[in-house]
Amino acid sequence: MENFQKMLIPTIYGDVPTFLGAPVARGKKDLKGADVAFLGLPSQGAEMLVGREIGINMMDTVRLRKASIKYGGYLPELDIDVLEQINLVDCGDVAGFYPLDRENINDYFQVAEKKISEILEAGCIPLTIGAHPYLFAKSICGLDGKLGIIHLDAHADNMDIHSGSKWSLACWVARASELDGVNMKNFVQIGMRGPRNFKEQMNWYRKKGATVYTYAEIERRGISEIAKEAIQKARTGADHLFLNLDLDVLDLGAAPGLDEPLGITTSDLLKIAYEVGKNSVTAFNVEWIPTPAWQPYQLPAWPLYWITTWTILYLLAGVASSKRSPR
């Protein structure tokens, strides 16, 4: 039994362990030989201007790393040791505030984009917590080829403007659709539901030729079939695949802090992550970790950090299994 190795977990800063105990990657040279690079992008969005506490909490990447430490890499149900098969490194955090300016991309965006590009150019899969998804779309479009996107969310996130900003997270899909490398026929939304979406948002997706799998269709057809079809739609004619997760795609019963019923289960989420991992995923981002509305902002919703760690492990299990048996 090697569990005592846990005594030797590297730290990323202070008393904060690295994600899943991965080796630290301080710069470009440490990415050599790595398959996957974890990166925290704790930031606050334009919504802060109107006093709403959404966006990624500056503590989320710290908590996620601490929450990850109780897990190893072996998944008995898949009989895969993810951390034996995948070289994972932890690149630390790039923290800041993103576009507070109502129109323009600020310095933080540029620094974060540069870091993501560095990971992609090293041939690693970036695993990020808190990235504005547009950063990814833009960084991946900086590589050669076209980009397919699968977005897991209760919400459409395709408004042209929200809270006075074009760079609100509620607008990222609209901004990504303006990039040359993004064909909306390769855009797949999974999990959209409920009365915080507008009819115009659904019509926008239809007009652009994107695919939306609402709750009704997921319930009727089952997530396994939908996951496979979604990957095929995102991948047809595209060279890269970006998976973006807003945890509120999950049902409000799945974990504290979530606020929309009729969502998918944690089991559904893990199945999607595994399938996407098997299909040459380029990048994975967890947009934010929701904070329960009924408790003080400082108190984290630990189950969401556990679910996030599991989701990453399942994505990596998919990557590992595709390495073992090339498609």
Which helix or strand (DSSP H or E) is residue 111 part of? helix 107-121
Least distance in angstroms from the C-beta of 285 to Mn ion: 13
CB 284 within 8 A of CB 125: yes
Q: Indicate the Cα dihedral angle 176, 179, 180, 185, nearest 10°.
A: 20
Least distance in angstroms from the C-beta of 257 to Mn ion: 12
Least distance in angstroms from the C-beta of 126 to Mn ion: 21
Strand ranges inside 48-181, DSSP E: 74-75, 80-81, 88-93, 96-97, 125-129, 147-152
Among 138, 151, 155, 193, binds Mn ion (CB under 5 A): 155
Only one of the segments 38-46, 65-73, 133-141, 238-246 lies at the binding site for Mn ion (rule: CB under 5 A); that segment is 238-246
- 251 lines the binding site for Mn ion (CB under 5 A): no
Query: Among 235, 237, 164, 177, which Cα is nearest to 204's?
Result: 177
- 246 lines the binding site for Mn ion (CB under 5 A): yes
Only one of the segments 38-46, 149-157, 183-191, 220-228 lies at the binding site for Mn ion (rule: CB under 5 A); that segment is 149-157
Q: Which residues contact 78 (CB under 8 A, 6 or more apart)?
A: 274, 317, 321
Task: Quickly count: other Cβ atoms within 10 Å of residue 180's Cβ.
Answer: 8
Q: 3-class DSSP state for residue 44? A: strand
How many chain residues bind Mn ion (CB under 5 A)?
5
Task: Between 19 and 284, name the residue whose CB sits nearer to Mn ion.
Answer: 284
Query: Among 59, 223, 275, 239, which Cα is nearest to 140's?
Result: 239
Find residue 264's DSSP bridge partners: 250
Among 248, 251, 268, 275, binds Mn ion (CB under 5 A): 248
By beta-carbon distance, which residue lies closest to Mn ion? 155
- 153 lines the binding site for Mn ion (CB under 5 A): yes
Single-letter amino acid code for the residue at 218: I
- 47 lines the binding site for Mn ion (CB under 5 A): no
CB 281 within 8 A of CB 241: yes
Task: Between 90 and 246, name the residue whose CB sits nearer to Mn ion.
Answer: 246
d(CA 208, CA 210): 6
Least distance in angstroms from the C-beta of 154 to Mn ion: 5
Least distance in angstroms from the C-beta of 269 to Mn ion: 14
Task: Between 18 and 311, name the residue whose CB sits nearer to Mn ion.
Answer: 311
Least distance in angstroms from the C-beta of 301 to Mn ion: 15
- 113 lines the binding site for Mn ion (CB under 5 A): no
Task: Between 91 and 301, name the residue whose CB sits nearer to Mn ion.
Answer: 301
> Which residues make up the interface to Mn ion (CB under 5 A)?
153-155, 246, 248
